[in-house]
Amino acid sequence: MANLSVVKGDLTKMHVDAIVNAANESLLGGGGVDGAIHRAAGPELLAECRTLNGCKTGEAKITKGYKLPARHVIHTVGPVWHGGNSNEETLLYKAYYNSLQLAMQHHIATIAFPNISTGVYHFPKQLAAETALKAVEDFCTNHPDPIKEITFVCFDDENYNIYHDLINIPE
Ligand code: AR6
């Protein structure tokens, strides 16, 4: 079973097989963690993204990591929060689950996630964390072997505290 951990910090600094990008459907960059990933990876990342023809919400696509310490970037698109009656939870669940599925297909053993949709897409942080953990736990139950280490990289204290409490890490 994969080891789950939570850290506070910058996703672009993670030395893992793949980091996950909280992108938009164009896959052509943006602000937040997406902007930080493109800045750190360099312009070749955008060039590869242009060949992918975008990505639907809840789905995922993979590129190389270029100048990042991570070998790959898995680009997924979380939902914009519209109040909770627009399938947001299912779409966020799918964004995490499909990212892990794609990672498995590419023999990725270590992967780090940001808190998808909790920035400019305004998904409530507690519900987002519960949904992310449910997707990760379901994936690991269905596929116990291939992925060894899953890290949630939180940028802000609020998300870090939520994940810390949910994952129940001893002090
Ligand atoms: N490392 C880790 N987490 C980060 C970093 C970083 N370097 N920078 C920001 N975060 P957001 P979304 C956190 O807005 O809500 C983009 O423009 C941030 O604190 O990046 O899914 C895309 O192109 C927050 O907790 O993504 C889309 O248009 C989390 O990352 C749109 O934003 C996600 O915030 C996607 O919105």
CA 115 – ligand 1 centroid, Å: 7
Contact 153, 14 (CB under 8 A): yes
Sketch out the chain's domains with CATH numbers. 3-167 (3.40.220.10)
The verdict on the CB of residue 119 being under 6 Å from ligand 1 is: yes
Tens digits of residue pLDDT in 86-118: 999 999 999 999 999 999 999 999 999 999 999
Question: Does the active-site annotation cover 34?
Answer: yes
Contact 4, 150 (CB under 8 A): yes
Residue type, position 168, single letter: N
Q: Does pTM surpass 0.75?
A: yes
The verdict on the CB of residue 23 being under 6 Å from ligand 1 is: yes
Q: Rounded to an integer, what distance in angstroms lies between the CA atom of residue 74 and that of residue 84?
A: 26
CA 15 – ligand 1 centroid, Å: 19
Chain-centroid distance of CA 28 in Å reads 17
Does residue 121 sit in helix, strand or coil? Answer: coil
pLDDT score, position 13: 98
C-alpha to C-alpha distances, 151 to 2, 43, 156, nearest whole angstrom: 10, 26, 15
